[in-house]
Each structure stands twice: as C-alpha cells, then as structure tokens.
Amino acid sequence: MSVEADVAAKPPQGVSAIFWLLIVIFGLSIVAMSSEQYVSIAVFAFVLSGWIISLCLHEWGHAATAWAGGDRSVEERGYLTLNPLRYTNPVLSIIMPLVFLALGGIGFPGGAVYVKTNALRGPFWRAAVSAAGPAMNLVCLLAIAFALTTFDEFDGPSPLTLALSLLAFLQATALLLNLLPVPGLDGFGILSGLLPESARAALAPVASVAVMAFLAIMLFAPSLLSPLWQACLSLCAALGIDRANIADGFGLFRFWDRPDGSVIN
C-alpha cells in the first residue's frame, strides 16, 4: 500500500487500548511485588511495561510537536494514539531494545515516527520535533525521581524502589543517548533540523553508515561509551537516585538468573 493510501485510511483516534493494557500491567506488577516468591518476575514486568510506556510517550512527543508544527499526517497515521504498534520497526523497535535492556540495562531508543519535514513551519519546528522525544524521557525521569522521594523506608529499599531506580536509569540513558549528535538519534535531528535542505541532503549518505558504526560500537565495544553511562549514573545521583539501588534493580529484573523468580538475600 502506498504512503498516500495509508494516510488516507485514517485510523480511529484517542488513546489506544494497547496503551491502556500496558498501564494495567504496570499497575498489577506493583501489586505482584508483594509476593516474595515471584517478586523478580514482577519487577521484570514492571520495568518492561514502564519502558514501553515511556517509549510511547517519547514517540508521542515527536508526533504531537510535529502536529503543532504543521504536519497533520502524524494524526492520520495514528501516532497520537500512544499505540506502540504504530511506532514499530521489527528490528530497531523490538529486537534491539530488548537485547540492550536485557544484557546491559540500557534504554535504547527503538521507536520510529515518520514526519513530513516539508510540512513543518521552518527549521525551529524541525529541531523541536527531534527535541520533543528526549524531553519526554526527561519528564519521565523527573517524575520517577519525585516518586522515589516520597518513600521513607527504614528496613532497606523495597522491590518497588529498586524497580523504579532501574527504570529511572533507563530514562537517563535514553535521554543522554538520544542527545548525542549521531545520525539516527535525536541529537543529530536537532542539529540537522536547523540546516537548509541542501545541507541535510548532503549528510544523508553519511548518516546510514554512521548509524551502523554506532550500533557496532554499542554491541562490540561498549566500553568506549563508558563516559556516557557514567554521566547517566551521575544524573541519577544528582536526582537522589542511589546507584546501588539501580544495580540491585537490574539484578531483580534478570529473573532468568533466578529459576523461581524469588529474592535471594
């Protein structure tokens, strides 16, 4: 089906049922954390559903800003419904983020929103569309940090505190990673959005090569990005999020390391 035909078939608007289901799973996993036997599986469900929710909000930020800037096609494509399936690319949106999340606790930005940049009202809106996604991750990070400040725990951190700490770190990694001026990431989109069409066209051939090179570094030489991960931990620390809680949250998240999903003291 052509792009024009796809756009013409306007999907129903409003918040998608899938997004509401994610909210329900997110809430139920908090309740499930009270069960010591399966607390690790509950933390996994909480962090995974929370991460997908934040990914939807990230992509919604791009789409909503594009709509405000003049691109009405984002509404016609269903990007404003917070439906994760609307932002899905099988490899970049599902496989790669899950691999990075499971192996390294990294919030890899995997969604995709296709914007008609020629419909936007100038370079400011092009840059704003790219900046809106990381801005949503910042909002999520601040909200989690605020939630953590309300907890007053005398017997050590609860599973919910550990899960929220890990989820906060994922937001920090998504925020700072996205702001890198690397093609394919929002930081590059912010910079290139301010450039004229001729300059953006000249950068296009380099962009695809740079994306593959960056992915290769993340997979095979992640130590080169150690300063970035340290910056993420420092950002979390500045917001009062304990580094040890992040590590313990990641330990709980990896339920497959614990056959019964239970807490090991």
Segment 207-225, tens digit of pLDDT: 777 777 877 887 788 788 8
| pLDDT at residue 181 is higher than 50 | yes
- Cα→Cα distances 175→55, 90, 94, 169, 227, Å: 11, 22, 19, 10, 14
Residue where the block lists tokens 């008609």: 116
Residues 27-64 as b/e (b if ≥16 CB within 10 A, e otherwise) read eebbebbeeeebbbbbbbbbbbbbbbbbbbbbbbbbbb
Q: Which ranges of the chain does DSSP label H, i.e. alpha helix?
A: 3-8, 17-32, 39-69, 73-76, 96-104, 123-149, 159-178, 186-193, 197-220, 226-238, 243-253
Lowest mean pLDDT among 56-70, 134-148, 200-214: 200-214
User: What six digits make up the tokens of 80?
Assistant: 């404003």
Residue 129 pLDDT = 96
Give the residue from 183, 185, 187, 174 showing the smallest Cα distance to 235.
Answer: 174
| Residue 35, domain member (yes or no) | yes
More confident residue, 25 or 204: 25
Query: Which residue type sits at 103?
Result: L
| Residue 127, domain member (yes or no) | yes
| Residue 44, domain member (yes or no) | yes
| pLDDT at residue 169 is higher than 80 | yes
Annotated active-site residue 59? The verdict is yes
Task: Using pLDDT thresholds of 50, 70 and 90, give the confidence band for residue 63.
Answer: very high
| pLDDT at residue 204 is higher than 60 | yes
Residue 10 pLDDT = 53
| Residue 263, domain member (yes or no) | no
251/254 Cα distance (integer angstroms): 6
Task: Using pLDDT thresholds of 50, 70 and 90, give the confidence band for residue 240.
Answer: very high
| Residue 262, domain member (yes or no) | no
| Residue 265, domain member (yes or no) | no
The neighbour count for residue 14, using CB atoms within 10 Å, is: 9
Number of domains composing the chain: 1
Task: Using pLDDT thresholds of 50, 70 and 90, give the confidence band for residue 173.
Answer: very high
| Residue 45, domain member (yes or no) | yes
Residue where the block lists tokens 């990641």: 250
Identify whether the C-beta of residue 129 lies closer than 8 Å to the C-beta of residue 62. Answer: yes
pTM: 0.87
| pLDDT at residue 250 is higher than 70 | yes
| Residue 21, domain member (yes or no) | yes
Residue 223 pLDDT = 82
Residue where the block lists tokens 């394919």: 184
Q: Which domain holds residue 248?
A: 3-257
Average pLDDT, the chain: 85
Q: Which of 4, 36, 59, 75 is catalytic?
A: 59
Lowest mean pLDDT among 57-71, 88-102, 169-183: 88-102
The angle, 0 to 180 degrees and rounded to 10, between the axes of the packed helices 123-149 and 159-178 is 160
> What's the number of CA atoms in the CB half-sphere (13 Å) around residue 180?
21
